[in-house]
Amino acid sequence: MTRTHLPTTVALRVVVSLAQHGTVSSAAQALHLTQSAVSKQLKSIEELAGMCLFTRTSRGLAPTEAGVIYIEQARLALGALETAAVRLAGLRSSQPTIRLHVLPILGDRWFMPRFSRFAELHPRIDIQFTTFAPSDTLEEADAVFRFGDGTWPGWDANYVLGRDVVLASSPHLIARNGGLNAADDVRNFPVLDHLQTPLRWSDFGAACGFSDFRPPRVIRFGYYALVIRAAISGQGLALVPRSLILDELASGQLVNPLGLGFSSKNGYWLTTPASRPLHADLAILRDWILSEARQSEGRV
Amino acid sequence: MTRTHLPTTVALRVVVSLAQHGTVSSAAQALHLTQSAVSKQLKSIEELAGMCLFTRTSRGLAPTEAGVIYIEQARLALGALETAAVRLAGLRSSQPTIRLHVLPILGDRWFMPRFSRFAELHPRIDIQFTTFAPSDTLEEADAVFRFGDGTWPGWDANYVLGRDVVLASSPHLIARNGGLNAADDVRNFPVLDHLQTPLRWSDFGAACGFSDFRPPRVIRFGYYALVIRAAISGQGLALVPRSLILDELASGQLVNPLGLGFSSKNGYWLTTPASRPLHADLAILRDWILSEARQSEGRV
DNA sequence: TGCGGCTATTCCATTTCGGACTACCTTCGA
DNA sequence: TCGAAGGTAGTCCGAAATGGAATAGCCGCA
């Protein structure tokens, strides 16, 4: 008889974060835990599941068939919990809470690190975050980060950042591959692609005037964090919104020697339901976000 | 800024169990916890939610508006975790696991208490239970308990128990209400009804030959466990499958002085997908369940 | 008014959990 | 070929959470 032991909620977050980040260490960082803690959580949930959820590769972890199933359900479970929290926040009429839906990569790499400053500036404003909430509950949110070209019927959209897409590579990869001295050299490099935003490389090729751009190898990933990680470890060239890799560019982990890149039609936007009037606190938050974004992208 | 603290999974089970059972004590019993533990879990999750999820009445707990929302999402979350477990069990081809979906009231009051005996008899047979799994995943189960008349297209159904429906009352209620000396006296009592099986009382009226049966008061509940609990506390007469209240009838907490009742069209069935051949272990389980059920209903 | 049934709280033993540290493996470049 | 880098797993330990027993207290009711 199977003991009806349930996983912990942090184990669920661990599993999801592992899938997104591909290594125990970076998942841990995203969760504000140590590598040790995450490793143990992973072990315990795999024991509970009775099978491996991730295969250990030399570069990190990749979900197994079972892992894919588990991750999917873990997201659903976390989404339900977020939905509950959001709806309760909606009931609390006395102290209005801003319900903000964030996207994984944008939240991890740009928004959350900066948000603590906002929280200090405006300790009175209460914000409820969601990231796993199912898409049919998004209209309950007061503001939603989205990726696209800015047209979402029924929503007012403010451009945040992300249209400034740059080529990024590990310096070692460039050295190993005979250098990157002209745009045309890009053709000799393997490239990293993101399954959900697949047009990046053809857009880039067009911007560079390549008539026919066929990289020697394309490696695809399901999460942008994996693309960035793979770029850092020298697996190929990546195209990434500059604002998401400011730290890596500054530290030299990633470089863009020729300053290649292009201006994308798509970027990250902050959207608010057009039907609802904008609450004063929400306007403050929005303006702060837009101002931070201008700073990150160097638009004065 | 709202701390993104997630509730524990046991807190989720507590909330759901509280809704089903209506008191901390009986929820605790169903969860194999103490009243103290459940009370504390409730407190902690209410603090996390920032509002009361249950109103404390003199007889127990009733969900608030916020509670209803939370309970719904908690079920979804638990359902997702069950789905994950079930699907993983399906992958483990080496050691086949029987995936069995149980109904709350039947599981709590009849199946689970007896199941430990089966587990002793057949320690080799591994069973994975689900109770919250969403209905569109039921076809993944190997066997599903259902309530109805035995016709489910695509499923083979074996009658288990529950068609023997009896009148049940607290002895105090009968004493307080001038006795129950003839079937017709039933008309003087308030009755307890179950929202999901609403025809019980009209069926009963018909079986007793009442031309027009209008109880002075009808109290409705969303869970059968609440009906039984209300009956025990003397809030009204209940119609309950006899096998679900064997203990209470034996102890005198519930009585049926005139032996009233009727044979219902609907009962609990064990169903198996008609498309899949019956695994040997599953046949063992089914036969054991049917034999236990015959014993409970006194059908030799 | 006292009893039964219920919840909340306190105290305490136990367990769990997370962080620091260590061990160890693999890849990669000089 | 070796050392550095980056990764995971395991051990040890202090802190925190948790659950059970016992207790206090509340409410409805005979």
Domain with CATH 1.10.10.10 in chain B: 9-76
Phi, psi of A185, deg, nearest 5: -60, -20
Architecture in CATH of A9-76:
Orthogonal Bundle (1.10)
Confidence band for A92, pLDDT divided at 50, 70 and 90: confident
Confidence band for A3, pLDDT divided at 50, 70 and 90: very low
Distance CA A61, CA A114 (A): 28
| Per-residue pLDDT reduced to its tens digit, B1-10 | 344 579 999 9
Contact A150, A269 (CB under 8 A): yes
CB distance under 7 Å to strand D: residues: A 23-26, 35-36, 39-40, 42-43, 56, 59-61, 229, 233; B 8, 10, 32-37, 40-41, 44, 58, 172, 176, 234
Q: Which nucleotides of C are covered by protein (CB under 7 A)?
A: 5-10, 17-21, 26-30
Domain with CATH 3.40.190.10 in chain B: 95-161+267-296, 164-263
Confidence band for A94, pLDDT divided at 50, 70 and 90: low
Tokens of A271: 């959207």
Tokens 């909606």 locate to A90
Please compute the mean of the pLDDT values over residues B150-177 and round it to a whole number: 96
pLDDT value at position B94?
A: 64
The per-residue b/e assignment along A80-89, b for 16 or more CB within 10 angstroms, e otherwise, is bbbbbbbbbb
Please compute the mean of the pLDDT values over residues B230-239 and round it to a whole number: 96
Has residue A271 got a pLDDT over 80? Answer: yes
B142 CA to centre of own chain: 20
Q: Which own/partner contact pairs does B205-213 have at CB distance under 8 Å and 24+ positions apart?
A: B206/B262, B207/B261, B207/B262, B207/B263, B208/B183, B208/B260, B208/B262, B209/B183, B210/B184, B213/B187
Query: Can you state the percent helix, strand and coil of chain B, rounding each to 5?
Result: 50, 20, 30
| Per-residue pLDDT reduced to its tens digit, A96-114 | 899 999 999 999 999 999 9
Distance CA A126, CA B50 (A): 13
| Per-residue pLDDT reduced to its tens digit, B117-138 | 999 999 999 999 999 999 999 9
Tell whether B98 lies on the interface with A, counting CB pairs under 8 A: no
CATH of B95-161+267-296, picked from 3.40.50.450, 3.40.190.10, 3.40.605.10, 3.40.109.10, is 3.40.190.10
Contact A30, A21 (CB under 8 A): yes
Q: Name which of B5, B6, B82 to mutate to probe chain A: the one with the most chain A Cβ atoms within 10 A of its Cβ.
A: B6
| Per-residue pLDDT reduced to its tens digit, B174-190 | 999 889 999 999 999 99
CATH of A164-263, picked from 3.40.50.2300, 3.40.190.10, 3.40.50.300, 3.90.480.20, is 3.40.190.10
How large is the angle between the packed helices B280-296 and B112-121, nearest 10 degrees?
130
Q: Strands across the sheet with B155-161, in order? A: B126-130, B97-101, B143-148, B267-273, B155-161
Confidence band for A2, pLDDT divided at 50, 70 and 90: very low
Please compute the mean of the pLDDT values over residues B56-65 and round it to a whole number: 93
Confidence band for B11, pLDDT divided at 50, 70 and 90: very high
**Spatial CA neighbour of B226 closest among B28, B37, B18:** B18
Tokens of A59: 């570069």
Domain topology for A92-162+266-296: D-Maltodextrin-Binding Protein; domain 2 (3.40.190)
**Spatial CA neighbour of A290 closest among A258, A268, A262:** A268
Tell whether B115 lies on the interface with A, counting CB pairs under 8 A: yes
Domain with CATH 3.40.190.10 in chain A: 92-162+266-296, 164-263
Radius of gyration of chain A (CA): 21
Please list the residues that pair with A220 across neighbouring strands: A193
**Smallest Cα distance from A59 to chain B, Å:** 26
Distance CA A236, CA A194 (A): 12
**Spatial CA neighbour of B170 closest among B263, B236, B88, B82:** B236
